[in-house]
Amino acid sequence: MSRASLRFLYFSISAVVILGDRLTKLMIGRNVELNFGNITIIPNFFSITHVENTGAAFSLFADWPQRIRIPLLVGFSTVAMIVVCYMLWKSAAKFTCAGLALALILGGAIGNLYDRILFGRVTDFLHFYIGNHMWPDFNLADSAIVCGATLLFIDLIFGSKSAHSRS
């Protein structure tokens, strides 16, 4: 696969994440009541909700003043996206787990950045829980970022060992 084709593939993966994130957030916004909607999918485990997160992951910085919080989060996301884009562009020699991970992270970062710039908040709707124990609500963009970070971690731990063992 040529470098151009591989770059196209990686950035297409990011675009699919962005599109999926936008579509799911629009569907939730139109069909699930904010802060009160709750559609049980798997009883006592998973439901669809509609909440808005003004902070970062797990509502970090949500209580900071908006004039500080939004530029901080937008700035951090922008720098991270530039770094990821650069890494994807420069490393597109062959399809790798790390390249896929970066594509997922980029798509997720852009998906959440779009919301943060336009609305000052991010729509979250995936709600997992067991009894009274709940995981903070999240969205498709968050999922892509976590999956990408997990793939990077796996590649870091196991990828280098297999590469060294082949030499």
Q: For 109-135, what is each residue's pLDDT tens digit?
A: 999 999 999 998 999 999 999 988 999
> By percentage, how much of the chain surpasses pLDDT 70?
92
- For residue 66 the two structure tokens come to 């908006």
Catalytic residue from among 115, 137, 142, 155: 142
Q: In what order do the strands lie in the sheet with 38-42?
A: 38-42, 46-53, 122-130, 133-134
Predicted TM-score (pTM) of the model is 0.87
| Alpha carbons 112 and 15: distance in angstroms, whole number | 13
Q: Residues 22-42: what's their mean pLDDT? A: 95
| Alpha carbons 26 and 31: distance in angstroms, whole number | 9
**Mean of per-residue pLDDT scores for the chain:** 89
Cα maximum dimension of the chain? 57
The label of the residue with tokens 């297999």 reads 162
Annotated active-site residue 124? The verdict is yes
**In this model, does residue 20 exceed pLDDT 70?**
yes
Catalytic residue from among 21, 124, 137, 155: 124
